[in-house]
Amino acid sequence: MDYVYGPGRNHLFVPGPVNIPEQVTRAMNRNNEDYRSPAIPALTKTLLEDVKKIFKTTSGTPFLIPTTGTGAWESALTNTLSPGDRIVSFLIGQFSLLWIDQQQRLNFKVDVVESDWGQGANLEVLASKIAEDKAHTIKAICIVHNETATGVTNNLATVRKILDHYQHPALFLVDGVSSICALDFRMDEWGIDVALTGSQKALSLPTGMGLICASPKALEATKTAKSVRVFFDWNDYLKFYKMGTYWPYTPSIQLLYGLRTALDLIFEEGLDNVIARHGRLAKATRLAVEAWGLKNCTQKEEWFSDTVTAVVVPPYIDSSEIVKRAWKRYNLSLGLGLNKVAGKVFRIGHLGNLNELQLLGCLAGVEMVLKDVGYPVKLGSGIAAASAYLSNTTPLIPSRI
């Protein structure tokens, strides 16, 4: 894709990285500091306590690691499992595929449960595998909560019910990269042992921080896990937690200050309000897609994601042309179709620090792009459907108003 300068600001509607609020940008606009001074440990202590709130846990132990979601994946696996351990993992899209690839390259024995792209994880197969595993050879269940390639959200509560029903001790590991702080997520209630997310998603920060939270059961598993780990070793962190200095190596100081402000903004709005806002914007987007006469890649309503909508295009249109034209002509960034859905879908990300007017601007841009590439869209149809819904539903009132 050739670079072409576009006037005005870029309209960023990929499912991560997302728009960064000005308050966060200002908070990060600072010089470096000595992270061994009293200031950074004091900041870190409050961050660790407040991060637990976005995972909805009181018993979990959080880790703030300078990495991406991919590094957070590796941290979750290597701290709790040993090479050769049997795990069940669900392949439902590009990011679950990448996590499975990592699991296999780390020498775990992976039972891959595959679904058509656009469907959720096949939990009936999981129930069958758990029921048959009388010897408890399955050591972990790995699942992507929200698959951004297809706009599918999985039911984590059902996974926990299956494990509890058969009294199976497998660890429950969850990729919440594009769900935590945007979708309903309850680490303690759903008995999740390791949950993780990335700073560039619903937290609306720059890329570069992996946030991981481990249950007491997961921490106990580290004592017997034989996977090689150095940079991602939780035990190094725990040692420095006890010392009160918190960091086994140099943290990303600017990101820590950004995280402080990002959390403050979320708590000021109210986490439940943030989740409800994502639900409203997602519903408005789906109504717009329907008004355009297009279909959602996600095949059932129960799987609809509230952070990204993958839109299926007619066979005579290459969806990559929609993404390319949106960027070159309108300075609008949309998500490409990936792997099996490349050329077949484009993705509208609607997560992070985002409001109704920003979304409507995106939908207007998509309509113009659809017309440009020859799709017979009625201009204004999607905007009308979305705005009618948004104007007739009452958002929860942020506490600052």
- What kind and span of H or E run contains 124? helix 123-132
Exposure b/e, 172-195, CB count within 10 A at least 16 = b? bbbbbbbbbbbbbbebeebbbbbb
| CA quadruple 241, 242, 247, 248: dihedral sign | negative
Nearest to 89 by CA among 138, 136, 146: 138
Cα 349 to chain centroid distance, Å, stands at 11
Angle formed by the axes of helices 94-105 and 69-78, to 10°? Answer: 40
Owner of token pair 């000595």: 34
Distance of CA 35 to the CA centre of its chain: 29
d(CA 386, CA 362): 11
Angle at 378 between CA 377 and CA 379, to 5 degrees: 105
Q: DSSP string covering 309-349, please?
A: EEEEPPTTS-HHHHHHHHHHHH-EEEBPP-GGGTTTEEEEE
b/e map 112-150, b = 16+ CB within 10 Å: ebbbebbbbbbbeebbebbeebeeeebbbbbbbbbbbbb
Residue 297 carries which side chain, given as an amino acid letter? Answer: C
**Residue 144, phi then psi, degrees to nearest 5:** -85, 120
Of 347, 359, 180, nearest in space to 275 by CA: 180
Is there a binding annotation on residue 347?
yes
105 vs 87: CA distance, rounded Å: 13
Binding residues: 347
Binding residues for substrate: 347
